[in-house]
Structure 1
Amino acid sequence: MNSENLMTVGELASKMNVTVRTLQYYDKQGLLKPSSQSEGGRRLYTNKDMIKLNQILSLKFLGFSLEDIKSRLIPIDTPKEVDNALKEQASIIQDKISYLQEALTAIESLREEIQQINSIDWKKYSDIISLLQSKNENYWVVKYFDTDSFHKIKTSFTSEDSEKIISTWHELCNQIIQLKSQNELPTGSKSQLVAKDWWNMVNRFTGGDITMLKDLVNFNKDKENWNTDWKEKQTLIDDFLEQALFKYFKDNNIEVPKI
C-alpha cells in the first residue's frame, strides 16, 4: 500500500472537516475502522476510507441514526459498487429534497393563510396544517369559515364526502355554463333542475344548518384568494345562479334569511 495515500486520524479529520473524536467514535462503533497501521502502531486511513466516511457523513446529515447508517453502507470495492453507492446516496438526497420542498411549500402556504386570516385562531391554524400535511389541495377554503362551522364540516364529512361535494360543485358549474351558452333562461325548467341540485348540495354541505349560509356567502364574495379554476367558474355563473335560486326558493316556499 502506497504510504503517500495513507492518512493519520488527524489528517483525515482535517480533510473531511470532522473532529478526531468523531472518527475515533466511528471506529469504536464499527462504522469506519482504519484500513492500515504504521510500523509504530499508528492507525492509518486510506482514500477508500475517506470515500466511506463521505457516505457516513452524508447519511448522518440526512438524519439517519448510526444504526441505520450501518445497514445502508454499500461496499465500494469495485467501480460498479462505487457507482451503486453514489446512486443510492443521490436517491436518498433527492427524496430528502422532495420532502423539504413539500415542507417549505406547506410553511409558505400556512404563512399566507395566516396573513389573510389576520387573527389568532390556533384551532384553525391546526386545521390548516392538518390539511396541508394530508396534501389536500382545497385547504385554502378553511379560512372562510369560523371555527365552529369548520369543526362541523370536519367532523361530519370524510375526505371522500368532501371530494364528492367538490365534484358536484364542478359538475353543476359546468351545467350552468352550458345552459348559458344555449341561451337558456335562469327561470327555465332546465335551469330550475340545476338550482334544485345546487340547493341540495348546499344543504348536504351545511347539514341543513342555516347559520352556515353566512360563511358561504362570505366565501363567495371574496374570490380574490380563490383557486384560479374555482374563481373563474363561479364568476361565470354567479348572476345566472342567483336568479335561478331566487325563483326556486319562491316556487318552493323556501325562506332563506337575509345576510
Structure 2
Amino acid sequence: MMKEQMSIGEFSRIARVSPRTLRFYEEQGLLKPSYISDSGRRYYRPDDLIPLQQIIAYKYLGFSLKDIKAIMSGQAGDSNALLRSLRMQKQALEHKQQHIQQILKAIDHATAVLEAEHRIDPQVISFLIHSIVTEQQQMEWMSDWFPEPLIQRIKENFADESKERDWNMRSTLLLQDLKQALRNHRPDSEEVQQLIEQFMALANELMGDNWYFMNEYADHLENIELPAAIGTPFTEEEEKWFAEAFEYYSIKKGLFSDGHRESE
C-alpha cells in the first residue's frame, strides 16, 4: 500500500524516475513536492503521480518543458488549449516522420547505387541524397512554374518506389559517366553526345516529351534564383560544359533553333 507521505527517494522508486529528475522538474516549476520540511527534505503524496505522469506523457509526445509548463499551469483545465497543443504536436511529429522516411529512402537508394558501382563521385552521390530528401520542396517549387499535367506525371512515375529506385539508379550512374566524359572529351564529341542522348531518354521517361515547353520557359527561368532544394551534381566548370553539350545536341536534333542560339 502506498504511503500518504513519501520521501523523494521513495517517490522516485515508485514513479521510476531519478531524484535528480524530480529536483529538475521542481526547478522548472513543473512539479513541486507536497511538503518541504524545515531541514529541506522533500515529501510527495500519491496524488503527485498524476502531474508527473502528465509530464512524462507530454515529453514522450515531443513537447518541450516550456510547452508542458504552459499546458499544466496557465492552461490548466482548458481542454480546448490542450486539444490545440496536441494537434499541433501531432502535425509536427508527422512532418518529422515524413522527413525521416525521406532520409531512409535516400540512404536505401544511395546504398543500392554504391553496391552497383563503388567508384561514384562524392558530388554525384550527395546530389542523389539531397534530391530525395528535398523531394517535397522541389515539387512545390516546380508546381509554381510548370503545368499541373507535368507535375502529375512526375508524381505518378515516382508513386512506385521500386520504379523510382530504378530511375534514380540509372540517372545517378549516367551522371557519373557524364562527369567523366565532360572532363575528358569535348562537349560536341560523340562520347558526350551519346550520353546526352541517354540523358534525354531518361528525362522523357520521367516527364514525357515536354522539351518544347521547357524551351519556352527556359529564358524566363534563367532570371529566377533557384531554391536550395535544387542541387547539382556538377562543378561550375562541368555545368558550363554540360550546357554546351546540351545546346549542341538540341540544335542538332532540332529541339532548339539556331535563332535561339544566336539570341543568347
- TM-score of the pair, normalised by structure 1: 0.47
Structure possessing the higher relative contact order (Cα contacts under 8 Å, 6 or more residues apart): 2
- Structure ID, larger Rg: 1
- TM-score of the pair, normalised by structure 2: 0.46
